[in-house]
Amino acid sequence: MNKRPLILVTNDDGITAPGIRKLIDVMKSIGDVVVVAPDSPQSGMGHAITVDSTLTVDQIKADGEQLEYKCSGTPADCVKLGIRQVLKRKPDLCVSGINHGSNASVNVIYSGTMSAAIEAGIEGIPAIGFSLLDYSWDANFDNLVEDIKKITMNVLENGLPEGIVLNVNFPNSQNGFEGIKICRQAKGNWVETFDKRVNPMGKEYYWLSGKFENMDKGEDTDIWALDNNYISVVPTQFDMTAHHFIQQLNNWDL
């Protein structure tokens, strides 16, 4: 690539989150950065888009010279608005994150971070979602910088095939990582416990809570990699067809 790449940065924790501030810093060392990110946290938004209400986009100056826009919508809205309304040309890359918390295994389905990357992928833009397995607001993102650069440069140089984006998760380690592992999404789910409470008016309500359960013993999964202090990289597609089951379905009495 001869000229500096144009990089769209977004996330789901909101434009003021430390994770996206660090990602912006890293991307400024690689290319020209435009930020379009939610004005408030959007965790657990999955691939939601805003169809029944209005959207606003406001230019702000957060911490420097680069253009930043805060958007009232979801991460997927941010990418759509970024591409169609804010940017003058199609970006060379879209990065989302760094998410405060895991998007490994089935979390990819619920993830606003990954929905932004996938939305860019649908538009034919190479895209990466970055997440750190630390939910705290003051998580330390410093030791992720070199690996984020390396993965990003690889994507810019090699490109990504149509229909594929990368889901990158970092283990929560302050002492460096074992390396980078290409993985598949582990089979797992959340076992929810709904915490039932009673409000001051006597009405019952719930808080969604739960525990992730890994049901996958494979050593080629993202959960295995993260448990063993590797950075996991899962190539993620949005053709959700179970191609291998089509032939069998054709034998049904339909």
CA nearest neighbour of 64 among 19, 13, 25:
25
Q: Could you say which of 2, 3, 52, 174 contacts its own copies (CB under 8 A)?
A: 52
Q: Could you say which of 8, 17, 36, 76 contacts its own copies (CB under 8 A)?
A: 76
Are the CB atoms for 125 and 82 separated by under 8 Å? no
For residue 121, give Cα distances in angstroms to 174, 176, 194, 238, 249.
Answer: 32, 30, 35, 8, 29
Residues whose CB is less than 8 angstroms from the CB of residue 51 and which lie 6 or more positions away in sequence, other chains included: none
Site for its own copies in 169-188 (CB under 8 A): 180, 182-185, 187
29 binding its own copies? (CB under 8 A): no
Least distance (Å) between residue 121 CB and its own copies: 10
Least distance (Å) between residue 205 CB and its own copies: 4
Which of residues 174 and 191 has its CB atom nearest to its own copies in the complex?
191
94 binding its own copies? (CB under 8 A): no
Site for its own copies in 189-218 (CB under 8 A): 189, 192-194, 196-197, 203-208
In whole angstroms, give the CA distance from residue 231 to residue 124. Answer: 25
Which of residues 3 and 196 has its CB atom nearest to its own copies in the complex?
196
In whole angstroms, give the CA distance from residue 56 to residue 80. Answer: 13
